[in-house]
Amino acid sequence: MSFKPLTDVQVTYRQIPQWQGLPNTSIQSKPLMIYHKAFDASASELAAHFEDVGEVTSQWTYSMYRQTHFHSTAHEVLGVVSGRARLCFGGEDNPERFEPTVERGDLIIVPAGVGHRLLDELGTDEGPFKMVGAYPPQKQWDMCYGEQSEADRVTKNIQQLDWFHGDPLYGKDGPVLHV
């Protein structure tokens, strides 16, 4: 397992306004972040590293759902461990959506409330698109779809969440601590 030095990591930051029933970054004003090609690790190596840092706990290795959804009870950390994909953040009809292509070695910080979905898996020689999904310890993620019946509960949940106290990848210092 290896990491790009923090000084060499390119990070994309994106604020995404509320769109229909998707709060996106409007409640806590923490940006969606992508650390580009920040690490080289297998799924098990990345999960072990998350455990060592202690800021998040890995809970699954999978692709991403094709339906727009978000979480109101936990911020999400996604580490791409194989393949490439085009994702959609913010809602597919949102004129201010963000549709990046992510690839192996990218780390994505998805603040609670940000709608996200898989648009396209893009072929590579290394195999299918897979990520390690991780969440702060003692946090159980929920599945929300932007329905009107969720609105009050979702807003309250997101308002009560703490932001990260350490960087999930770099520990004591890192991009997530400077937003």
Domains and CATH numbers, the chain: 14-143+157-162 (2.60.120.10)
> What's the length of the chain?
179
Tokens encoding 108: 């994505």
Residues 115 and 70 sit within 8 Å (Cβ to Cβ): yes
Whole-angstrom distance, CA of residue 153 vs CA of residue 58 = 25
Query: Would you give the DSSP letter of residue 117?
Result: E
Q: Do 32 and 111 contact (CB within 8 A), yes or no?
A: yes
Tell me, what's the pLDDT at 127? 85
Residue type, 156: K
What mean pLDDT value characterizes the chain? 96
The single-letter DSSP state of residue 128 is S
**pLDDT at residue 114 greater than cutoff 80:** yes
- Is residue 34 within 8 A of residue 12, CB to CB? The reply is yes
Give tens-digit pLDDT for 104-113. 999 999 999 9
Give, as one character, the DSSP assignment of residue 45.
Answer: H
Sequence-separated (6 or more) residues with CB below 8 Å from residue 161: 28, 73, 74, 75, 112
Q: Can you give the pLDDT at residue 124?
A: 74
What is the rounded distance in angstroms from the CA atom of residue 85 to the CA atom of residue 121? 4
Render pLDDT for 44-53 as a digit per residue (tens, 0 to 9).
Answer: 999 999 999 9
Share of the chain above pLDDT 90, in %: 96
Joined together, the tokens standing for residue 12 give 């994309």
